[in-house]
Structures are given as structure tokens and as C-alpha cells.
Structure 1
Amino acid sequence: MNVIVIVCDTLRMDDFACLGNPVIKTPVFDSLKAESTFFSNYYAEGMPTVPVRTAYFTGRYTLPERPWGPLRPTDVPIAEILWDQGYSSALVTDTYHLHRPTFGFGRGFDYVEWIRGKEDDPWIAPETVKTKLDVDKYYIDPPDGNVAPPWGSREMLALYMRNRSPWGAEHGWQREEDHFEAQVVQGSINWLEKQLALGRKDRLFLWCDIFAPHDPIDPPPPYDHMYGEPPEGCKDLIMPLVRATDGYLSDEQLEHIRRLRWGFITFVDTWVGRLIQFLRDNDMLDNTLLVWTTDHGDFYGEHGIIEKCRPWPYDILSHIPLLVRHPEGIAAGKTIDAFTQTPDLMPTLLEALNVPIPAHVQGESLLPLMRGDVEKRRDFAISGWHGGAQSIRDNRWSFLKAADGVMLREASMELYDRQADPGETNNIFNQHPDVAEMLNRQLQDRLAELTNS
């Protein structure tokens, strides 16, 4: 059996037509969902980008003790485990953070292709290229002049524009295929083609890691304005400043950013479809466990902020989609509502391949849920940022606890009724302090358990 994992950075549960978005078109994801198991209560435990990849690669929780940082020498990533089992493997990605000095996320893979240029990747130095791209066309100055934190600053936007300038067209791109996301998919297909040419059609492990739809929100035409032209006075704000929206973005501008992002998602959906079609055309789907997921969601006006300007693990950030398509059709088209977490993916892949799961792995394989052997793996899910806010959710409640000295949206501890208030907008902590205390105790006990295991 083969395993192919597709990770798209920054996808929300409401980003797909089949999950209730009435505007967006995501035909590839929608059709794959009909053939896959959909995990409806899948949560990122430690965020953002790098901690989630750490959990995916190692099967261990990061929230209790691991901040953003490199793989450790003692980590045993899944690529190394499968290398020792005779698998040919590849990592193809434009997620720049995995390629930072010392981070080491290419460990264990036989082939690694880094697509350079996304976000603040220092790929093209200022003195090496003169770009005609107009930063002001894509940028709005904050009214208070404060750009801290610097993500989305004029300087970062200019760096990204230099990175896309080698293609030479007015907007830095000549063709749809030039975009970084398309390069990742094509690089993945190229590696698979090479394996087939060598006579390898089994025991392949491909990790296709696409940094979109994380900003820069920069899809090509016609996807950029597929869901609406910029209203009068608005811009294609491809890299908004990470901050509170009040006083910075009008309602019209914020809505246009959402629609620009939906176009980006449809673009990514289209290109992922090319990879899946390649698998169908080459009779590989019948022997491939296919996974499509993400690392975290994001804020686009919810709770008064845009993007991850606060380490707030509200549901819209930590609740993420997961599709697992088993080649034998196990649980095809089924939705599983049991709580699952990002460290569960690695042991799931190993069990599917009949590879022993190392004792140090903290996640739980999802295959028993898919086969119907068990109804649940846990009674709740945790999520948060190491050193920042933490949260716990069960079937009824969401409890969030801020880091010392840092507030959440309105308090240091918040409680929400998940059934009556799935958007977590009405804090009822004061009405149910006993429930909050119980959940906080469960959260701290779970963190302590993970720290000691």
C-alpha cells in the first residue's frame, strides 16, 4: 500500500461547499469526501504551522512542552520509520518554515523538493531584482501607524513580491502553473511519475504540503475575482496586517478578503484535483491511502481580529477538516463525530501499513473508529498555543483559558455552550463556574499526563 498525505495550510471547517459554504466551489474536496471518512470533530492540539507538523510527523503532542521550533535529535519522524521499512518517500512543499535553518523537517525522506518564495522566505535579496510591482496596490496602512507584529507589513509584502518576480509578467506570474501551489502539486506528480518509470507502484510515501490558502492570498485570474470584484474603495489585500479589524478594515474590505481567499481555495482545490486525477489515471488509488487535511483555521473578522494576531484557540482556529480515503473502501462516505486530534494521524498511517507503532507515540490510530471497533478515542479534545491560551472541548462545552497576563476576547477564562453557541460568541463563564472549574481540571490533568509520558 502507498500513503499520500496532502496538507493545505489554513483551512477552516466552513471553507467547502459540502460543509455548508453556500458560495464557494470545491468540487474536488466534495467528491473526495463522498469516497472518504470525514472526521467532524478533528482538532489541532498545538498551533500554529510548525507545532502541527511536529505532531503530524512524530505522533506526539506539542501543547504541553514544545513551542515553535525544529525537530529534536531524539524525534523519530514517520519518514524515518518508513525508510526503515523499505518505503520510497518524498516531501514536496512550499511551506517555508519547514525549511528554516536547523528545523530539519526533511529528515528521513529519500527526496525533498523545497519550492522557495512563500510568505517571508528570504529567497530573493533586494539588490538582485528590480520589480515593477506596486506594493500600494495590495496594501492598506493601519490608521495608528502600528504594524506590530510585522506580519503583513509593507516590507514583508515587498519581499513576497520580489520572490514572485522571476516569472516576469506584470503581476510576477506568466502562467497559472508558475504559482507556488501549482509547483508543489506538479513536483509531487513528477516524483510519482519517476517512481512509476522505475517500476515502483507500491510502498510509496508522499507528503504534499501546500502553504495555501495561508496568506499571501494570491490566486491567479480567474480565481482572484471568481467570487466578486473589489468594491469601490477596496483592494486585493493579499497580505493583511495581523491585527484587530476595528479601525483598520471596513466591512466591505473584510468581505472582499474573504471572497479573495475563497478564490484561492478553489484554485488549490483545482490543482489538488490534478494530483488525484493522476492517481486515477495510473490505477494508483486502489492501492493508496489518501489523506487531505490542514494545520489550523484562521480568523477573518470573527472575534474582532484578522488572522492569528492573538493566540486564541477558538473553535474557528483549532477545529479543522480531515478526510481519510482507504483503498479498501473502509468507512467510505461516513462521518465520524468522535473527538480526534492531530497526533492521531501518524499512528493511523502506520497501522494502515501494518508497521508497528512506537511506544513513544501519544496519538491514537483512527482505524478502529473507521472499522467500527470502537465508538471513541477520548471524551474531549484539547488545543492551544504552547505558552499561550489553552482550551478543552467536550460534546457540550468549550472552555478557554488565557495565558498569564493575557486576555482572551473579553476575559481570562471563557465558557461556551457548543450546542447553543457553536461560534463561541456568548461567554457564560459566570453562569456556570462549576462547569468551567471541572473542564479546567480535566485540561490541566491531561496536559500533566502528556508531559509525563
Structure 2
Amino acid sequence: MKAIVILLDSVNRHFLGLYGQALAHTPNIDRLAKKSVIFDNHWAGSLPCMPARRDLFTGRLNFLERNWGPMEPFDHSLGEALREHGVYSHMVTDHYHYFRTGGENYVQQFDTYAFVRGQELDPWVSKVSRPESAAAFIGKRHPQYELNRTAFHSEADFPSPKTLKQAAEWLESNKDEDRFLLWAEAFDPHEPFDLPQERLHPILHSYSGPEYMWPEYGVVDVPDQALAHIRSRYSALLEMADHWVGKLLDVLDRHNLWEDTTVIFTSDHGYLLGEHSFFAKNYMPVYNEIARLPLTVHLPGGAHAGTRIQALTQSVDLYPTLLESFGIDPQRSCRNRLHGKSLLPLINGQSDKLRDELIYGYFGKNVNITDGQWVYFRSAGEADNRPLHVYTAMPTTLGHALGPSHIEDLKAIEAGAFLSWTEYPVYRIPGHVIRTNDRTQSFLHTGDLIKAHRLFDLSADPCQNNQLFDEDAEKQMIYKLISCMHRHDAPEEQFARLGLQARL
């Protein structure tokens, strides 16, 4: 048995034909979906990028304990669990956050890995003199990316095409092997929405404004023409990634590897492109465009292909699913208590659900819950967002060490076995003394955009356009939220921070 995971970053599933709207043309993802089981109610857990990956690689939600950060030394990773049972693993990726401070220990779990350079702020092309900015542009630009893109002379030079091409080449050279996992992870369609000229040229026919390829996170503040243009760029970037996904699928076709290979397609989180008047993620409430993800699973031989599953599933479920696909018992093999559950009983018809509700969110911001019909966003009870602690044995975060900005605040850091599910000692760092260099990651204050509780009925309002005020429904969701937080080992102060009773 073989397994392949294809992960594209920041996929807004409304752009995919398999979820109905088809705002982009993705024939290769559609081609894979026809051979697969499609999950209609699949959700993120911890957000954004690295928290989502820690969920994927540990089968546990981590956003109740810490913010963006590395794999912890007490995590029993997917690659490690596979290796212990004789399964080889290889990653190909251009996701440069794996190689930044705050992304430690992720790629090291694989037996081998390949890193394709050049995405976003990857410090790759080196030149002392910084390039000048364009005379006119909207949104963001960054000198390092301006240098990186000087190395992209054709579509095949862009990092995500190179990533998926290398994944296809690795599969070609290992087609006759058995018991391996290939993790093919492309950064696109994550911003910046940069494109080769042949893909950009048709888009520019309908746009006459300044260059615009990198939206600011937050409230939409651009003209309608620019909004339409950035959505077109996103769509074209997703289409480019889809084209190169096809190269990987071609290898499966050429050697009939579909017969003995599990192939999973998914994303880490979604992305807002003007919906709810927001761009991107992090600042705003976690609307479904961010939290509800694509997921398709092809089983060897195409078993149950064409089935659509409505049960609630989550990113943490991929860890036990992959283990079970190789005949490994997830519960007995994992040294940490799993939150995820294998998808195989759902696919095989042995079960009609894995859970009644699930929670998701960013560390230190709203904790959100859905039972499939209702979605409830629960915000902090106090303006100062206390009590809140980061629990970690690896005190780094996005781009820098995680710690207080003032020397006197060091006295507030404690060490001990504070987590209920592991005896491993960790640092307990008060959230209010931490400063994050990336302002979109800040959790010091919840902010005006997410400070209110919100309730939505997806059965009547699937696009979440109408916030409801239903006391009975809110009470039911609060009860479910408390229960779900307990099942996910939430530190006690999280209940107090959210204004919830710690016991039902």
C-alpha cells in the first residue's frame, strides 16, 4: 500500500467545481474527485498555517494551548509513527515556514524531504541592495519577494509548479516500491498572487488600475475593479496549481498506481476574497470560507468513489486515517491521546458519524464550534483577554523567539508539567507579556472585529450573512462548547477567558 497527500495552501473551496460554484477551472482536482470519496463537511482545527500543520501531523488540536509554533518534543508525529511500522515517508514542499524560526521539527519527521525555494518572504535570492518598489501598486510588496521573482523566467520556474513536478518525479522513480507516504505540499494559492505572463495577460484585459497581487489582511478597502482583479488572480493561481497537480496524477495513470494507492487532497485553511467584506484570515471571525475545507479521499482500487459524506470531519482525522490505511492501529501506536478519528469507518459504511460537534480557531482569539447546523463564535469575556497562557517546551513563534519584551516579565514565566495530557514539563508564559512581530498573529486583545459572540444557522443561512440572536440556541451551543473543550484537553483558564463555567 502507498499513500499520497496533496495539500494546497489557502484554498477557498467555493472556487472548486466539486463544491458547486467552480469559480476557478480545476480539471485535475475534479479528475481526482471523480475517483474519490468527497467530504462535504470537513473543517479546519487550529489556525493558521503552522498550527494547522501541527494538527495534521499529531492528530491533536493545539490552538487551546499555544499559538503558531514548532512541533513540540512530546508530540508523536505522523512520520515518526509510520517509520516505527516500516513505512517510508518523503515530503516535497515550497512552504518556507517549515524552515523559519517557529517552524522547527516538522520536516525532520520525514525520512527525506525536498525544499523548493522562493515563495513569499523566503530569504533566497541574495542581494545587498534592495530593489525599488513599483511606481504605483495596491496592497503589499516586499523587497525579498521582488528579488525572488527575478528567478522565475517561466511557469516551470515558479515554486509551486517546481514542487509538484518534483513530487511527480519522485513518484515516478519509486513507483515499484511499497509502504511509503509521499507528502506533496504546494504553497499556492497562498498570496502573493503572482503569475507568469501567459496566465496574467488575460486577466489584465479587464483591469486598468495599479499593480495589485498581494492584498492586505483585514477589511476590504479597495475599489470594486481591484477586488474583482485580485479574485481573478487568486483563481488563476489556483488553476496554475491544478495544472501541476495533473502532472502527479499522470504518473498514477501511467502506471495504474490507483489500484494500490490512497490519495488525499485537502488544504490547511481557506481564505476570504471579499466575502463578509474581508481579505485573507487572522483578523476577522473565522467564517466558513476560512474554516470549511476541501477533502477528497481515493482508496486503492477506487472503492466507494463518487460517494459524498456529510458527517463532520476535521484536519486531525488525517493522522489516524493514514495510519489505519497502512494497517496500523492509531490508538495503540500513538503515544499521545488523539483527538482525530479515522475516516475509514465513514467511508466503509461502518459508521455514520465520528462526532456530534467540533471546535476550531486561533490561539487566544475566539473559540468556535459547529454541530453541522449551527455555528457559534465565542469571544473573550474581558477586553484584556485574560487569563491566557502559552504552554510550550519550544518557545519560538513566527520568525522569532517567544518571550516577553521586558526583562522584568521573565519572572512571570513558570515551568512544570502543566498540561493534563502529558507529563512533559513545559513553559507557561502569560499571554499579556508576549509580543509578536507579526501583528496579524497578536492575541493581546481580541479586537473590535471578533469581540462579539456570533450565532449562525447554516441550514437557513449557509453563507453566514445573518447573525441570529436566539437565546435557547446559544445556550445549547455553549453547553456543547464546554463539553467539546473538555474533550480537547483545554487548560482551565480558557473557560474563564471565554466567560464559561469550567464544569457542566
Q: Which amino acid aligns with 1:224?
A: L
Structure 1 residue 183: Cα displacement: 0.9
- Look up the SS of the partner of 1:293 in the other structure: strand
Query: How far apart, CA to CA, are the structure 2 residues paired with 1:433 and 1:117?
Result: 50
Deviations 1:56-98 (A, max 9, x none): 1111111221321000111111111112222222111111111
In 1, the alpha carbon distance for the partners of 2:218 and 2:372 equals 31
For 1:44, the equivalent position in structure 2 comes to: 44
**Given the alignment of the two structures, is residue 259 of structure 1 paired with residue 258 of structure 2, yes or no?**
no
**Alpha carbons of 1:212 and 1:376: their partners in 2 closer, same or farther (altered >3 Å)?**
same
Decide which moves more: 200-209 or 98-107. 98-107
CA contact (8 A) 2:357 2:372 kept: yes
Which residue number corresponds to residue 17 of structure 2?
17
Residue number in structure 2 paired with 1:349: 322
Question: Residue in 1 aligned with 2:294?
Answer: 321
Counterparts of residues 81-100 of structure 1 (less than 5 Å): 81-100=81-100
Say how many residue pairs are matched: 423
| Cα gap change, 1:228 to 1:444, in 2 (>3 Å) | farther
Match status 1:240 vs 2:215: yes
Matching residue's letter, 1:385? Y
Would the alpha carbon gap of residues 258 and 195 (structure 1) be closer, same or farther in structure 2, given more than 3 Å must change?
A: same
Q: CA RMSD in A?
A: 2.1
- Is the contact between residue 80 and residue 107 of structure 1 (CA under 8 Å) also seen in structure 2? no
Q: Matched residues in 1 for 2:172 and 2:24: separation? A: 32
Q: How does 1:44-443 map to 2 (within 5 A)?
A: 44-101=44-101, 103-127=104-128, 135-136=134-135, 139-140=137-138, 152=140, 154=141, 157-165=142-150, 167=151, 173-196=152-175, 200-226=176-202, 229-232=205-208, 234-245=209-220, 248-357=221-330, 358-359=333-334, 360-403=337-380, 404-405=382-383, 406=446, 409=449, 412-429=452-469, 432-443=470-481
Amino acid at match of 2:147: R
Alpha-carbon deviation of 1:300?
1.2
User: Equivalents in 1 of 2:35, 2:84: separation in Å?
Assistant: 31
- Does structure 2 conserve the Cα–Cα contact (< 8 Å) formed by 1:115 and 1:180? yes
Secondary structure of the residue aligned to 1:183 is helix
Q: Quick one: distance in 2 between partners of 1:75 and 1:11? A: 27
Q: Could you say which residue in structure 2 is the equivalent of 1:145? A: none
Residue 95 to residue 310, structure 1, CA distance change in 2 (3 Å): same
Amino-acid identity (%) = 31
Does the C-alpha gap of structure 1 residues 19 and 223 become closer, same or farther in structure 2, counting only changes over 3 Å?
farther
Q: Deviations over 1:181-208 (max 9, x none)?
A: 1110122123223334xxx421121111
One-letter amino acid of the counterpart of residue 158, structure 1:
P
Relative to structure 1, is the Cα distance of residues 223 and 448 closer, same or farther in structure 2, using a 3 angstrom cutoff? same
Query: 1:26 corresponds to which residue?
Result: 26
Cα distance 1:226–1:342, how it changes in 2: closer, same or farther (>3 A)? farther
- How far the C-alpha of 1:35 sits from its partner, in A, is 1.1
Superimposed CA distance per residue, residues 105-163 of structure 1 (whole angstroms, 9 cap, x where no aligned partner):
11231211111221222223440x675x85345x326xxxxxxxxxx3x4xx2211111
TM-score calculated relative to the size of structure 2: 0.80
Contact 2:121 2:144 in 1 (8 A): yes
**Equivalent position amino acid for 1:160 in 2:** Y
Tell me which stretches of 4 or more aligned residues in structure 1 moved more than 4 Å.
Answer: 225-228, 407-411
Task: Using the TM superposition, give the Cα deviation of residue 440 of structure 1 relative to its aligned residue in structure 2, in angstroms.
Answer: 1.9
Specify the code of the residue in structure 2 equivalent to 1:392: I
- The 3 A distance-change label for structure 1 pair 385 and 410 is closer
Structure 2: tracts of 5 or more residues without a match: 384-445, 492-504
Give yes or no for contact 1:392–1:400 (8 Å, CA) kept in 2: yes
Q: TM-score by structure 1 length?
A: 0.88
Structure 1 residue 434, shift from structure 2 partner? 2.1
Shift of the alpha carbon at 1:20? Answer: 2.1
Question: How far did 1:244 drift?
Answer: 1.3
Cα distance in 2, alignment partners of residues 389 and 377 from structure 1:
24
Q: Which moved more, 1:205-214 or 1:80-89?
A: 80-89
Structure 2 distance, partners of 1:442, 1:56, is: 24
